[in-house]
Amino acid sequence: MTKILAIDDTPYNLDILKNGLEDEGFDMVTAQSGREGLALIDQERPDLVLLDIGMPEMDGHQVLQQIRLSDEHAELPVIILTANTEDSNLARCLESGANDYVTKPFSFTALVARINNVLRTQKDTIQLSRDVEKLRDMAYRDEMTGLLNRRAFFDRANAEFEMAKSSKEPLSIAILDIDHFKSINDEYGHPKGDEVLKAFGKMLKGSLRLHDVVGRIGGEEFAVCLPNSKPMNAYGTFERLRTKLCKEHLLSGDDGEIRPVTVSIGIVGLTDQKELDSLMILADMALYRAKNQGRNRTIVETGVIN
Ligand SMILES: [Mg+2]
């Protein structure tokens, strides 16, 4: 049920609003002063506020200002009820953030129409901002895995890289490539290949810390930037992932035959490199060595470890 808070210093007005709007099916809460009204907004979380302007101590303009300045209730719809029909007063109400105003005396038909209109607009606005958020999300997420896309990975990793350089904290970069992925697609079909990518992306994300930056930077290629992590620590993390992957049987054929999915990984730590790109090249070189040495292994750029 839609809950409405009416704030008015005249008890008679509150009685009329409460009775009239309850008859229309609204759930009513009332307050006799601005201060009481603000407290009730916190306690009762109304969907909309009907606000009188002329009140002692704290008038309606001040109450509205407090609502719009609050972190939690800034978007709360407010309809002003005012006996002052001068244009300057009405203009001031809208300028200070009222969603609408109704002049006294009013008819309940008009008031209910205004209430419903404001609530509908509010709903549309919320939907719109959700849509915008979704679009923004699509711009930096890889749709298949939900990880960062290539561009977003480089943006975020670059910020971490600059921070690590200036604070002289360690940082590691890893590039991971699923072995023989093309043959997975060829033999089992692209839907299976996509399943493997999704499952691997999930496993990868699950094996990292919250603040590690992880993205899918190519078809079957993933990259991770691990702030505050030395290459040997990163090595431990990725070796656990690699061995887990061998056991998890991400891929089985229609005949029930299980085919292991493996990954090759190259890691490099922050050295005196001036650019993230040169670190990425070093990590890529380590990855190539892992591939050349037979795949399904992790190599840190400083030497062969596995
Ligand atoms: Mg009044």
**Domain ranges in the chain?**
3-138, 150-300
Which of 262, 303, 300 minimizes the C-alpha distance to 279?
300
Q: Supply the Cα-derived Rg of the chain in whole angstroms.
A: 30
CA of 174 to the centre of ligand 1 (A): 66
95 — pLDDT class (breaks 50, 70, 90)? confident
How many residues appear in the chain? 306
Distance of alpha carbon 288 from alpha carbon 194, whole angstroms: 23
Q: How far is CA 125 from the centre of its chain?
A: 18
What is the DSSP code (8-state) at residue 258?
Answer: E
CA of 94 to the centre of ligand 1 (A): 18
Which amino acid belongs to residue 216? R
Distance of alpha carbon 296 from alpha carbon 306, whole angstroms: 10
At a CB cut-off of 8 Å and minimum separation 6, what does 108 contact? 20, 21, 24
148 — pLDDT class (breaks 50, 70, 90)? very high
The verdict on whether 220 is a catalytic residue reads yes
CA of 38 to the centre of ligand 1 (A): 16
251 — pLDDT class (breaks 50, 70, 90)? confident
Q: Do domains 3-138 and 150-300 have the same CATH topology?
A: no
Residue of 169, 220, 257, 301 with catalytic role = 220
CATH number of 150-300: 3.40.50.720, 3.40.50.11740, 3.30.70.270, 3.40.50.2300?
Answer: 3.30.70.270
Distance of alpha carbon 179 from alpha carbon 189, whole angstroms: 16
State the pTM of this model: 0.61
CA of 209 to the centre of ligand 1 (A): 56
- Architecture of the domain made up of 3-138: 3-Layer(aba) Sandwich (3.40)
